[in-house]
Amino acid sequence: MREQPNGEVTHPVRVFDLWLNCGHLVTVERSGWYPVSVPCCDRLGGTVLHGVYVPYASHVDLVTLRSERHASRPAGSPARPDRLIGRRARTDDPYRLAHPGDGGHCGRWPAHVGATWSLDGSLPGPD
């Protein structure tokens, strides 16, 4: 971050492609460097507290920087939260090719590997 004469601070805004250990590839915009973990999906399991489901965070396996720009905001203002731009299907989803005999892919992992734990005995509400 660089402070400017008008009292504003210039900070980097970066867009990353993140390969997560849950199998998804997500595109995220954030102020600062890449994250080490990202809440993504319920594939790894999660917790319930006061009826709210929170998925476990997926760890980042690989990062690609897509773009970087600099933005100004008043000094002392909080950083913008991360913004999820897109999430592609899991890279290990099973699939069949269009032509018979060309093979296919049965997927690398099962559909779900984690379990949901309720911290206070409450259940998540309907979506």
Rg of the chain over all Cα atoms, to the nearest angstrom: 19
CB-CB neighbours of 84 under 10 Å: 14
Closest to 14 in 3D by CA, of 63, 62, 66, 75: 66
Q: Per-residue pLDDT tens for 67-126?
A: 999 888 888 877 788 888 888 877 666 556 666 666 555 555 555 566 666 778 787 776
Sequence letter at residue 6: N
Cα 101 vs. chain centroid, distance in angstroms? 36
**pTM listed for this prediction:** 0.64
The pair of structure tokens assigned to 123 is 């259940």
Q: Per-residue pLDDT tens for 11-46?
A: 888 999 988 888 888 899 988 777 888 877 777 778
d(CA 95, CA 98): 10
